Amino acid sequence: MSRYLVTGGSGRLGRSVVDVLAEAGHDVVSVDRSPVAGLRAEQRQVDLLVPGAALDAVADIRPDGIVHLAAIAVPFSLPDPQIFAVNTTLAWVMREAALEIGVPSLLLASSPTVIGYGSPTGWVPSVLPIDERHPVAPWNGYALSKAAIESLVAMTVRQHGDRLRIAAFRPCYVIAPEEWAGTPTQQGHTIAERLADPELAAVSLFNYLDARDGGDFVLSWLRQAASVPNGGVFFVGAPDSLVREPVGQALARLVPEVADQARHLGDADAVFSSRLAEEVLGWRATRLWRDQLAERETEAGVA
Q: Please check whether residue 179 lies inside any domain of the structure.
A: no
Contact between 53 and 31 (Cβ < 8 Å): no
Give residue-wise pLDDT tens across range 238-260.
999 999 999 999 999 999 988 88
* Averaged confidence pLDDT in the chain: 96
Q: Say which CATH number the domain at 12 has.
A: 3.40.50.720
pLDDT at 146: 98
Determine the Cα–Cα distance for residues 38 and 200; give it in Å rounded to an integer.
31
State yes or no: pLDDT of 301 exceeds 70.
Answer: no
Q: Please check whether residue 29 lies inside any domain of the structure.
A: yes
What DSSP character marks residue 57? Answer: H
Q: Please check whether residue 45 lies inside any domain of the structure.
A: yes
pTM of the model: 0.96
Determine the Cα–Cα distance for residues 269 and 296; give it in Å rounded to an integer.
23
State yes or no: pLDDT of 69 exceeds 60.
Answer: yes
Q: How far is CA 121 from the centre of its chain?
A: 26
Contact between 220 and 283 (Cβ < 8 Å): yes
Q: Please check whether residue 11 lies inside any domain of the structure.
A: yes
Determine the Cα–Cα distance for residues 285 and 264; give it in Å rounded to an integer.
22
Give residue-wise pLDDT tens across range 183-223.
999 989 999 999 999 999 999 999 999 999 999 999 999 99
Domain count, the chain: 1
Q: Please check whether residue 196 lies inside any domain of the structure.
A: no
Give residue-wise pLDDT tens across range 261-286.
898 899 999 999 999 999 999 999 99
pLDDT bucket at 299, cuts 50 / 70 / 90:
confident
- Average pLDDT of the segment spanning 23-37: 97
What DSSP character marks residue 134? Answer: S
Contact between 272 and 112 (Cβ < 8 Å): yes
Q: Please check whether residue 220 lies inside any domain of the structure.
A: yes
Better-scored residue on pLDDT, 61 or 300 = 61
Q: Please check whether residue 255 lies inside any domain of the structure.
A: no
pLDDT at 300: 63
User: How far are the Cα atoms of 108, 244, 299 from residue 7, in angstroms, in the given order?
Assistant: 10, 35, 33
**For the chain, what percent of residues have pLDDT higher than 90?**
92
Contact between 221 and 213 (Cβ < 8 Å): no
Q: Please check whether residue 186 lies inside any domain of the structure.
A: no
* Domain enclosing residue 101, as ranges: 3-173+210-239+271-286
- Average pLDDT of the segment spanning 86-109: 98
